[in-house]
Amino acid sequence: MTTSFVPKLKIQSRTFDKFIAPLLRLLPFAPQLLSRGDRPLKMTFEDQLKALVYFHLQEHKSVRHLIQDMKESDFAKQNIAPDGGISRS
């Protein structure tokens, strides 16, 4: 029995932008996210949406792994992480 493995491809900016474009067109119709606590939100809804899509496309095992990837990967830093960077808070 032979098992064929599909190699994991790196996501490119153009590919990701093309993939997420329909979601971003719907974004103006989504309600604004509001903080329930004293601290303001560090990520916008657009940042969270991009992180969720990236999480599933890269098949991360946990959010901790996603956060580490967002700190280390050049693509994730430029396209996914919020402007101020990402932290475990």
Amino acid at residue number 83: D
Model confidence over 9-51: pLDDT tens digits? 566 677 788 888 998 899 899 888 888 888 887 888 888 888 8
- Residue 60 φ/ψ, nearest 5 degrees: -65, 150
Model confidence over 68-84: pLDDT tens digits? 887 888 888 888 877 77
Tell me the average pLDDT across 52-67: 82
Q: How far is CA 27 from CA 18, 33, 44, 49, 71, in A?
A: 15, 12, 11, 9, 25
Q: What is the pLDDT of residue 88?
A: 55
Give 36-69 as a DSSP string: SSSSPPSS-HHHHHHHHHHHHHTT-SSHHHHHHH
What is this structure's pTM?
Answer: 0.70
Amino acid at residue number 15: T
pLDDT > 80? residue 4: no
